[in-house]
């Protein structure tokens, strides 16, 4: 990952990304890496490859969460967790649908100080 950065910085970045992939928690990842949250965000904003690695780490962490949800849904027989997983993976079939219809007009009137906005 080094592009002329100090080895220490590369180690901190790797530690940060590794923990982020496990927890999806920026504060915890920064603590483990020995950096501030602000530094992590500055690195992400300044370095497209680090930003891409960050996004990948978040996806890995989300995959871990999803595996845990699956385990709870099937092992612990959690109907709610099954519902959440089905809505996530088959939204066309399992997402709640609400149909709102309106006929007629709507009059909106603004007065007072907000009228000039």
The span from the CA of 24 to the CA of 57, in Å, is: 7
Q: Give the closest residue to 16 by CA, choosing from 64, 3, 67, 1.
A: 1
For residue 1, is it within any domain? Answer: no
pLDDT value at residue 101: 78
The span from the CA of 117 to the CA of 115, in Å, is: 6
Asked if the model's pLDDT at residue 30 lies above 90, the reply is yes
For residue 116, is it within any domain? Answer: no
For residue 76, is it within any domain? Answer: yes
Q: Can you read off the two tokens belonging to residue 32?
A: 């483990």
For residue 39, is it within any domain? Answer: yes
Q: How many domains does the chain have?
A: 1
For residue 109, is it within any domain? Answer: no
- Percent pLDDT > 90 in the chain is 74
For residue 27, is it within any domain? Answer: yes
pLDDT in tens, 65-113: 999 999 999 999 999 999 999 999 999 999 887 777 778 777 777 776 6
The span from the CA of 19 to the CA of 3, in Å, is: 22
For residue 65, is it within any domain? Answer: yes
For residue 62, is it within any domain? Answer: yes
Asked if the model's pLDDT at residue 21 lies above 90, the reply is yes
């Amino acid at each position: 990952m080094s592009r002329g950065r100090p080895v220490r910085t590369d180690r901190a970045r790797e530690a940060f990304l590794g923990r982020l992939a496990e927890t999806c928690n920026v504060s915890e990842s920064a603590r483990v890496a020995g950096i501030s949250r602000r530094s992590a965000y500055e690195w992400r904003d300044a370095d497209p490859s680090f930003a891409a690695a960050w996004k990948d780490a978040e996806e890995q962490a989300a995959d871990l969460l999803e595996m845990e949800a699956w385990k709870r849904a099937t092992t612990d027989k959690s109907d709610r967790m099954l519902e959440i997983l089905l809505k996530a993976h088959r939204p066309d079939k399992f997402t709640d649908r609400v149909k709102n219809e309106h006929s007629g007009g709507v009059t909106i009137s603004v007065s007072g100080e907000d009228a000039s906005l």
